[in-house]
Amino acid sequence: MILHILTTAPLSDAARQAEQAINPGDALLLIEEAVSAALQPDLDCWKQTDYPVFLLEEDLVARGFANAASHHRLATVDIEGFVQLTEQYEQSITWY
């Protein structure tokens, strides 16, 4: 099972490539520019149920999106939670 780490905006090429690679049981972690997905609760990634999706709290806060994420009830992890995800998932792939 793979932790997919996306660093680019939700509709970027890298985001679409991550979607081609992700399998049920994997997880998707949105960091850096990808946390702008917090502003778009209608994105496919928030509607599907095959894999969990998390936003990195520190990157949300830095960009001023933390309230948007909690308003839309989107899952977040802090940097320690990021480490825990890498403990839990044997492999990770970063999409950039």
Partner 1 sequence: MDKSEDLMVIIRHAPHNSNWLREGLDAALVAAAFGQSVRLLFMGQGALALCKEQQAGAPGQKATLPTIDMLEMYEIDQLNVPDQTLEELNIPLASLVNGVTPLSESQVKALFSQPRLIFNF
Partner 2 sequence: MDYGLLVMGAPYSQPAPHSALRFAHAILARGHQLAGVFFYHDGVHNASSLMTPPQDELNIREAWKALHEQHGVPLDVCIAAALRRGVVSESEAARHGYTAFNLEAPFELTGLGQLLTLQQRCQRLITFAN
Binding site for partner 1 (CB under 8 A): 2, 13-14, 16-17, 20-23, 26, 90-91, 93-96
Give the max Cα distance, the chain: 32
**Complex with partner 2: residue 42 or 87, whichever CB lies closer:** 87
Query: Least distance (Å) from partner 1 to the CB of residue 42?
Result: 23
Number of residues written out for the chain = 96
Question: Which residues 6+ apart lie within 8 Å of 60 measured at CB?
Answer: 35, 38, 66, 69, 76
With CB cut-offs between 5 and 8 Å by kind, which of partner 1, partner 2, none does residue 2 bind? partner 1
Query: Least distance (Å) from partner 2 to the CB of residue 30?
Result: 12
Q: Which residues pair with 94 in a beta bridge?
A: 5
Query: Least distance (Å) from partner 1 to the CB of residue 24?
Result: 9
Would you call 46 helix, strand, or coil by DSSP?
A: helix
